[in-house]
Amino acid sequence: MLIVCKLYAIVSEMCFVLFCLIEPTFKPKTKVHKISHPFHNSLEINCENIEQDIVWNGGEGKFKAEITYNGKPITAGPQNKCLFTFSDLYYLATYDVKVFESHLMSLSIYNHNAVVGFLVFLIVVTSVALLFVLFKIYLLKRKRSVTAEDEEIPLTPEPLRRVEPIYADGLVEAYKTKIADESRLFMDEFQSIPRIFSNYTIKEAKKQENQSKNRYVDILPCKYHSSIPTVSCGYQEPKKYIAAQGPKDETVCDFWQMVWEQKSSIIVMVTRCEEGNKIKCAQYWPSVDRETEIFDDFVVKIRSEQHCPDYIIRHLILNNKREKASEREVTHIQFISWPDHGVPGDPSLLLKLRRRVNSFKNFFSGPIVIHCSAGVGRTGTYIGIDAMIESLEAEGRVDIYGYVAKLRRQRCLMVQVEAQYILIHTALIEHTMFGETEVSLSEFHSVLNTLRQKDGSDPSLLEMEFQKLPKFKKWRTINTGSSEDNKKKNRCSDVIPYDYNRVLFRLDLEGNQTSDPEDEEDYSSDEEEESNEYINASFISGYWCQKSLIAAQGPLPNTTGEFLLMLYQQQTKTLVMLTDCQEDGNYWGDEKKTFGDMEIEVKKTESFPTYVRRRLEIKSTKKTDVLEVDQYQFLKWRGQELPENAQELIEMIRVIRENGNYDNSRMNRNIPMVVHCNNGSSRTGIFCALWNLLDSAYTEKLVDVFQVVKNLRKERQGIVETTVSSLEKCNHLVLSLKY
């Protein structure tokens, strides 16, 4: 006779099901089995209501119990009483339980109950001692990560909020609403998405042989994606991306095997190998010097490497030794402008990265492999931006909240912090408001002609593009330059440097105060405002690095000493003057001139048809160091919006680049070049824009006049004036480029 009963027990406050099978050799009158849990991860099985006058069929019988987990039995008994205790069981595991009778051959003895009682007493005492030891071991193990078996039970996520999709024309207003009150709505929205959001196990990732392959113990791929790190859905393509952690030294071979098996032809790396003195990723490609690296069955060769300010493009050749005549091209794009902490300040950098990645994609490409260090934060952010732009273009709306939740269902912690969640929004706003304005040099002439065309009274595309340019009025403070003490030091009241990037110098500074182009913090503070002198000059970002240019007004008689001190403390090597002496003043002479503690002397003069080159020697009476500066004065730009001949200005720029070794020396790029006209804005702004556009054209064969002008406007007032002809000027100068 078989009795099958379905019983419920609770272990450590979690419910699970036990199936009990009773195989008696007597007629039981057992109504139920009692299952209890005397302590954590234990079971006590008791057959209740068994009559005392049981008649066994055959010899004397005893009860025996057996529990099974994953095919592995654990037995207890035989014993007279149907009472069994099992301890040190797996947490949240399902066990099959069998209770049955076992025959024993024994001699008849007198008062066998006393012997049995004594044995039971010994068993109980021993069991209590053993259970106490096991309980102590359990407490120690609780401090460790959950075991692989723990993950067998699917997680039940909290219900998501109802967040409505945002239409393209409502992105800005939605952003303003959520960013208000210290980003409270953004924070609430982001934190409501479960960090771990998966119905699949991570058993494979937590196996002993795989634990050394995981960079972080809390970021693991789920079982559904155990063969590869994680496959993430694009907006329309179900397997567009592979989100991976940065390879470790011991996983580089596995990484290339994955790339080979998945037929991936593009790898996007959103980290440096080392950041903040911490290893973020192993270098899994050969250097240009070595050319070839071998990783077990895979041979990786580097064909070319192109360095740009924000990313490096490498063209690799991948061979598999096991497959004859096998060779594949892999494009490796490494984004290097993600700061150690936080997110990029300019979302257009990620939009530019996306354009580069998409330019290499073709119909036959496998999934795009994207990784940072952990493979969740920056990786998830890039995937989110790419997919949501596709959604905008297809439907005119985005569900950022829903998509991030979708990503986390496939890989935990995707889009790891709130700042990355906000960055997705700002990148979409940038894309919606300004679109793609980057043009290749080979197509620039035809594109510009299209932009200029007008249809009746309707504005041209160039005029419409100009209307999109932000004015950035009052977006930063100008408290220092507009103070009563400093008003007399400004040529124009409407061109005053912003406090955040004005050039600082100190009259009592013992050593030279050189700029640090990697320093991204604001340059002014309350303490600095009191200890630093004021000059009408602003740091300007160059193509290669921040603070590589200084836009300054022409020195006034009462500011010439400060102007020379600024050159001296910034260790300037090149000085560009875009005005003649009549309108801007002469701050040098045929002989040595002194302005306060500063001395300037012309050591050499060379005259050319369109410019004059002077070698200036600048000293401080308080120091023995001498600074030599090459000054280039352009002679063909007198009051006009553009030079008389744009090609002549470009030719002078070529000479400056060559003589200053700006194309090949990173050190020279980091020393700021000072550019001035009368107000340090109008002609200076055009020159700075052209300088950056030339760098872009030389390096990438691409130009983006719109973005260059937009970024310059953020750094100094009055740069590229607020008329459509200003944008026309820059485009006209680009047309003059010759290679």
Annotated catalytic residues are 372, 677
Phi, psi of 382 (to 5 degrees): -60, -45
Q: Where in 470-557 does DSSP place strands (E)? A: 537-540, 549-553
Number of neighbours of residue 85 by Cβ within 10 angstroms: 19
Distance CA 285, CA 302 (A): 8
Q: How many residues does the structure list for the chain? A: 739
User: Helix 705-713 to helix 418-434 angle, to the nearest 10 degrees?
Assistant: 120
**What dihedral do alpha carbons 87, 90, 92, 93 form, nearest 10°?**
-100
Of 376, 366, 115, nearest to 271 by C-alpha is 376
Instruction: Give 54-95 as a DSSP string.
Output: ---SSS-EEEEEEEEETTEEEEEEEESSSEEEE-SPPTT---
- Under a CB-based contact definition with an 8 Å cutoff, are residues 264 and 330 in contact? yes
CA–CA separation, 45 and 74 (whole Å)? 14
The total of other beta-carbon atoms located within 10 Å of residue 91's CB is: 17
Cα separation, 596 vs 564, whole angstroms? 10
Asked if the bond preceding 459 is cis, omega within 30° of 0, the reply is no
Q: Report residue 562 CA to chain centroid gap.
A: 41
8 Å CB contact between 569 and 505: yes
Cα–Cα dist 613/615, whole Å: 7
Relative to beta strand 96-103, strand 61-69 is: antiparallel
Beta strands in 556-679 (DSSP E): 574-577, 593-595, 598-607, 611-620, 626-634, 673-677
Name the token pair of 190: 């982001």
Report the relative pairing of strands 166-167 and 96-103 from DSSP bridges: unpaired
End-to-end CA distance of the chain: 96
Angle at 89 (CA atoms; ends 88, 94), nearest 5 degrees: 170
User: Rounded distance, CA 221 to CA 527, Å?
Assistant: 50
Residue 561 and residue 597 in contact, taking contact as beta carbons nearer than 8 Å: yes
* Residue-wise burial string across 14-40, b where 16 or more C-beta atoms lie within 10 A, e elsewhere: eeeebebebebeeebebeebebebeeb
Q: How far apart are CA 498 and CA 716, in angstroms?
A: 7
CB 518 within 8 A of CB 574: no
